[in-house]
Amino acid sequence: MRGSLRARLAGLAIAASLAGWFIGPAPAAANQARLDYVGYIAGAPVLDLSASITVPEGAKPRDGAYAVSAEIATIGNLAVLYPYSQSVQATGALAAGAARPARYQSTIRVWNRQEAVTLTYAPNGTVAINAVPLTRQAQMAQQQGYAHGTMDPASLVVAVAASFAHAGRCQGQHPVFDGARRYDLAFQQGGYADLDPLQNSYYAGSATECTATPELVAGFQQSALNASLYPQSARLWMAPAIVGFPPVPVRIFAQSAFGEVTLELVNVAR
């Protein structure tokens, strides 16, 4: 049961990583916002995601430093069955429109167990992994080197948002390593929609639909892969929900073996 719940959360975490805008130490001339999301599985609230981001100024951010942090936790009945929380911090810089991560830290707590990982990025793309305790996934990544040339989930969000802000569309493929799982996310432009509000929605109105398709590379539970527990794709809607700030994901939707997975923007603060 716990294994399947962990796989369920991992699938939701891939969706959450697309919305993970979280505040950290502010760069000079920074543009800041705080966003709160609620995650649903089959219509039931299961996850709180408290999110903010600090990027260079402008709705189309220029080159410069970004800083990221996050607090994520299960809620409701799922929190009783599977008390999960995660804290994230990340730093990096936008250079020529691309996100260049510098450091990523994640601490996960499940019941009485805690796992922490720090990823440090060198200019040549190599990634140093420090996991406490040393997990099998981290050890495999160190031995096989498949973390090199990747970015962390927080930097992924910065990369996608900056690209969308400048190009006005979703595009590109990004290699991601979160300290345990290695996957690629390919983004494609969809159509346009007028979103109707869901329960507690912050935004309703015009949005651009994009599709994110993951290719699962390493670090995923084989039993969960065999059972198709991870979403095969996700749809996200980008919108200018905050004046003077880059467009953000206002809704993310995926279909999994457990039902519909939705991440909805419910609150914004500057």
* pLDDT value, residue 156: 94
**pLDDT of 29:** 46
184: number of Cβ within 10 Å: 14
- φ and ψ of 12, to 5 deg: -65, -30
CB-based contact 49:36 (threshold 8 Å): yes
> For 145-172, what is each residue's pLDDT tens digit?
999 999 999 999 999 999 999 999 999 9
Look up the pTM and report it: 0.87
Q: Which residues contact 133 (CB under 8 A, 6 or more apart)?
A: 115
pLDDT at 270: 84
Model pLDDT, residue 214: 93
Residue 44 has a CB neighbour count (10 Å cut-off) of 12
Answer yes or no: are the C-beta atoms of 266 and 202 closer than 8 Å: yes
Per-residue pLDDT tens digits for 104-146: 999 999 999 999 999 999 999 999 999 999 999 999 999 999 9
**Which three-class secondary structure state does DSSP give residue 182?**
strand
- The first and second tokens of residue 170, run together, are 């979703």
